[in-house]
């Protein structure tokens, strides 16, 4: 990771204790840029990943003597080097730098010293070979792909190792530099993979190719025609059940020579789908045998009109999350959180979505009320607290028997003082995050006297959110990915009092922010939609607005012309097939370029996605899901909320969305609470 030029992007550690006396911070000898220099001992470092070394950085006077008490600040690039109490720890392979800075009131310019730190991989201890298709045999003329994995002595895996492949008998088996093995003649041969001098081998037998035809059949569909995004499985019959198969697809209508033969479609393990309407040839081959089928795909055509019904403008604070529910009085309400409002949550009457009325508010000791939830039975609401003046954050539980006049039932802080970012409410229990470290489970049968029940803290992990479904808690834990815990389902022996880990599932982006488990009746599959949150566009062609223009966190200043600039984000929704929780499979995504995801909801085969600057987006998620939904014509509607009188004027920043009684309610952090309605689009009669 490149070294940033801004201290705001660095993890800082001060060599002297923060509580040290002022004499330590102001040396007795006046320091100037001309009479003082910095020196590191050693001057540079070479560390193995994970190793730690001591580094001494001192200020030297003109005569070479050490200046006692010089306030030297040392920082390292986040996620690359950790610096604490004079020790540097290697976190990421590459060439990095420690930056030491000395600045005192007498100095015209601060002194800076850069200490090169090269971090290298540990030595490879063992190599393992894995077959990508272990149930298939090798017949003359067929191919298979082998995968080599390399491990260090501590058991950690080397990502993308440089593998050298060879066959001990090329007359029987040949192998290329990618691990693709070709069966040449009957017999047996050993394939060897070597990583940094450490070998692993696999002996593979080769048989003569059996005689007989190869047949390809599409699985019959009950609802023709095949639309873009629909998955069509194929089955294969051949002279042997264990033949290695090679799939391919090409579009055969129109002129697609410039786009490639497979443009607009994909084929994964015999499952075909097209992103673009057209006529496609699906092929399967094994050795010299080949079979084909032709498939026609029509446009999905699911676009609907989106109509704005109502808007509750909030121009003086930033709106965070929302929750909509039917109150015990039979009317409909929404509660929203906030930032820069002095710790308020706001209650709106949304019985008539065309006339959204703010009816009350509750103030808590907090800088931010990030999350709000209401129990399914409408008995209580909860506010998450961060930035309390007392540093005792916790949750505020509201009695909403009368939603127009909510009363504070209790404040629970024990074990939650570090800040509560998100919560999840059931009728009887409340799951509350504690300082991004764990979730605490409270019994809220009596909301006036909540009681601690248990907690779950995944090792070496940071948590952002938790959602509970069918006795399983799905927590989103950044680099760890998705963590699933039995909190009462019972299949894995877990109870609400004694949670039991079911599985973890790492995600490729390492920015796991929110998860929504959902059973698709149309696909007869259990899916978990997992959303990223990446609050930058670092490394992208367009990385965002220049910092000197300000950000969406700062209101526009007409005197300076700064502030009021929307934040830029990235990241996307990842779709995991969780039908077998012990063997989850990544199957798809919903990724819109130039924008980043936030909170979302799924109901009746529709994904309601808050896509930050990308607006609120409604997506068709019916049927089996595979590939990127964005390319498949599955988007039903998109609306980019903006208002000239918003906190950040005319800037879309959708935070959360929830369908409710035929309307879609969503919060925009810059412009408040919105209600919209989908209307079927009028289509010409064919």
553: confidence class by pLDDT, cuts 50, 70, 90: low
The confidence score (pLDDT) of residue 551 equals 72
Q: Which residues contact 5 (CB under 8 A, 6 or more apart)?
A: none
User: Does residue 214 register a pLDDT over 70?
Assistant: yes
Q: What pLDDT, in 10s, does the model give residues 566-598?
A: 889 999 999 999 999 999 999 999 999 999 999
User: Does residue 3 register a pLDDT over 60?
Assistant: no
Q: What pLDDT, in 10s, does the model give residues 110-144?
A: 899 999 999 999 999 999 998 777 778 899 999 99
Q: What pLDDT, in 10s, does the model give residues 6-24?
A: 222 222 223 333 233 333 3
Q: What is the mean pLDDT of residues 499-521?
A: 97
554: confidence class by pLDDT, cuts 50, 70, 90: confident
User: Does residue 32 register a pLDDT over 80?
Assistant: no
Q: What pLDDT, in 10s, does the model give residues 165-174?
A: 999 999 999 9
Model pTM?
A: 0.86
Contact 194, 221 (CB under 8 A): no
The confidence score (pLDDT) of residue 567 equals 84
Share of the chain above pLDDT 70, in %: 93
Outline where DSSP puts E strands in 422-507: 423-425, 429-434, 438-443, 451-456, 465-469, 472-477, 481-486, 500-505
CA angle (302 as vertex; 298, 305 as ends), nearest 5: 145
The confidence score (pLDDT) of residue 245 equals 92
107: confidence class by pLDDT, cuts 50, 70, 90: confident
The confidence score (pLDDT) of residue 261 equals 53
Contact 198, 127 (CB under 8 A): yes
The confidence score (pLDDT) of residue 389 equals 95
**Which tops the pLDDT comparison, 224 or 318?**
318
Domains in the chain, please, with CATH?
A: 7-120 (2.60.40.10), 124-207 (2.60.40.1080), 215-298 (2.60.40.10), 316-455 (2.130.10.10), 458-534+569-640 (2.130.10.10)
d(C-alpha 214, C-alpha 438), whole Å: 54
**Phi and psi at residue 632, to the nearest 5°:** -100, 10
User: Does residue 184 register a pLDDT over 80?
Assistant: yes
Write the DSSP symbol of residue 562. B
Q: What pLDDT, in 10s, does the model give residues 396-443?
A: 999 999 999 999 999 999 999 999 999 999 999 999 999 999 999 999
d(C-alpha 646, C-alpha 642), whole Å: 7
User: Does residue 504 register a pLDDT over 70?
Assistant: yes
CB atoms within 10 A of CB 347: 24
Q: What is the mean pLDDT of residues 148-160?
A: 95
d(C-alpha 350, C-alpha 323), whole Å: 11
CA atoms within 13 A on the CB side of 553: 4
User: Does residue 379 register a pLDDT over 70?
Assistant: yes
Q: What is the mean pLDDT of the chain?
A: 91
d(C-alpha 426, C-alpha 377), whole Å: 8
d(C-alpha 347, C-alpha 332), whole Å: 11
d(C-alpha 470, C-alpha 490), whole Å: 10
Dihedral in degrees, nearest 10, Cα atoms 158, 160, 164, 169: 100
d(C-alpha 264, C-alpha 236), whole Å: 23
Contact 92, 100 (CB under 8 A): no
**Considering just the CA atoms, what is the radius of gyration of the chain in Å?**
30
Q: What are the beta bridge partners of residue 456? A: 439
Tally DSSP H helices, then E strands, for the chain. Answer: 1, 56
Please say whether the dihedral angle defined by the alpha carbons of residues 257, 260, 263 and 265, taken in this order, is positive or negative: positive
Contact 647, 316 (CB under 8 A): yes
The confidence score (pLDDT) of residue 5 equals 30
CA atoms within 13 A on the CB side of 193: 25
User: Does residue 385 register a pLDDT over 50?
Assistant: yes
User: Does residue 648 register a pLDDT over 70?
Assistant: yes
Contact 383, 362 (CB under 8 A): yes
Q: What pLDDT, in 10s, does the model give residues 45-79?
A: 999 999 999 999 999 988 899 988 889 999 999 88
d(C-alpha 460, C-alpha 437), whole Å: 9
The confidence score (pLDDT) of residue 22 equals 32
């Amino acid at each position: 990771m490149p070294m940033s030029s801004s201290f705001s992007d660095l993890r800082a550690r001060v060599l002297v204790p923060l509580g040290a006396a002022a004499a330590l911070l102001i040396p007795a000898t006046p320091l100037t840029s001309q009479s003082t220099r910095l020196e590191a001992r050693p001057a540079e470092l070479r560390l193995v990943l994970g190793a730690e070394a001591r580094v001494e950085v001192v200020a030297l006077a003109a005569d070479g003597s050490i200046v006692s008490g010089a306030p030297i600040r040392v920082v390292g690039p986040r996620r690359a080097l950790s610096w604490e109490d004079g020790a540097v720890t290697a976190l990421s392979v590459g060439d990095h730098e420690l930056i030491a800075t000395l600045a005192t009131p007498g100095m015209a310019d601060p002194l800076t010293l850069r200490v090169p730190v090269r971090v290298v991989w540990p030595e490879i201890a063992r190599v393992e070979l894995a077959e990508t298709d272990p149930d298939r045999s090798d017949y003359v003329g067929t191919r298979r792909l082998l995968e080599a994995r390399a491990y260090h002595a501590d058991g950690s895996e080397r990502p993308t190792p440089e593998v050298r492949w060879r066959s001990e008998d090329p007359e029987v088996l040949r192998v290329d530099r990618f691990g693709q093995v070709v069966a040449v003649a009957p017999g047996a041969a050993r394939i060897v993979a070597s990583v940094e001098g450490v070998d692993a081998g696999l002996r593979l037998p080769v048989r003569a190719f059996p005689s007989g035809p190869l047949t390809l059949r599409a699985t019959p569909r009950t609802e023709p025609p095949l639309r873009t995004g629909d998955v069509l499985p194929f089955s294969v019959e051949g002279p042997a059940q264990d033949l290695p198969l090679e799939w391919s697809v090409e579009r055969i209508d129109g002129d697609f020579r410039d786009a490639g033969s497979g443009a607009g479609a994909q084929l994964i393990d015999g499952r075909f789908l097209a992103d673009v309407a057209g006529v496609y040839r699906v092929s399967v081959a094994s050795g010299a045998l080949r079979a084909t089928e032709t498939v026609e795909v029509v446009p999905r055509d699911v676009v609907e009109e989106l109509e704005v019904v109502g808007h509750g403008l909030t121009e003086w604070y930033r709106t965070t999350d929302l929750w909509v529910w039917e109150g015990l009085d039979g009317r409909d309400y929404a509660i929203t959180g906030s930032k820069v409002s002095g710790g308020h949550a706001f209650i709106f009457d949304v019985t008539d979505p065309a006339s959204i009325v703010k009816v009350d508010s509750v103030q808590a000791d907090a800088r931010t009320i990030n999350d709000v939830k209401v129990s399914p039975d409408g008995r209580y609401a909860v506010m998450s607290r961060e930035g309390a003046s007392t540093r005792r954050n916790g949750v505020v539980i509201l009695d909403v028997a009368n939603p127009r006049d909510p009363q504070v039932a209790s404040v629970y802080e024990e074990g939650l003082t570090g800040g509560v970012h998100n919560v999840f409410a059931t009728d009887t229990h409340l799951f509350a995050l504690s300082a991004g470290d764990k979730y605490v489970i409270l019994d809220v049968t009596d909301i006036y006297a909540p009681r601690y029940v248990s907690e779950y803290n995944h090792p070496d992990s940071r948590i952002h959110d938790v959602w509970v479904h069918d006795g399983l808690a799905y927590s989103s834990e950044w680099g760890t990915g998705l963590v699933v815990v039995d909190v009462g389902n019972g299949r894995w022996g877990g109870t609400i009092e004694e949670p039991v880990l079911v599985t973890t599932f790492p995600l490729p982006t390492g920015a796991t922010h929110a998860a929504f488990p959902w059973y698709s009746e149309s696909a007869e599959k259990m899916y978990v939609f997992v959303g990223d949150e990446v609050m930058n566009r670092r490394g992208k062609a367009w990385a965002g607005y220049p910092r000197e223009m300000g950000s969406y966190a700062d209101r526009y200043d007409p005197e300076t012309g700064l502030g009021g600039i929307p934040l830029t984000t990235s990241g996307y929704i990842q779709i995991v097939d969780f039908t077998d929780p012990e063997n989850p499979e990544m199957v798809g995504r919903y990724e819109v370029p130039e924008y980043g995801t936030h909170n979302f909801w799924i109901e009746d085969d529709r994904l309601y996605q808050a896509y930050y600057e990308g607006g609120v987006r409604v997506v068709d998620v019916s049927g089996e899901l595979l590939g990127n939904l964005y390319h498949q014509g599955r988007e039903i509607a998109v609306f980019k909320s903006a208002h000239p009188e918003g906190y950040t004027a005319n800037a879309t920043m959708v935070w959360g969305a929830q369908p409710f009684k035929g309307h879609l309610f969503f919060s925009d952090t810059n412009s408040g609470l919105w209600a919209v309605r989908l209307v079927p689009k009028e289509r010409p009669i064919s």
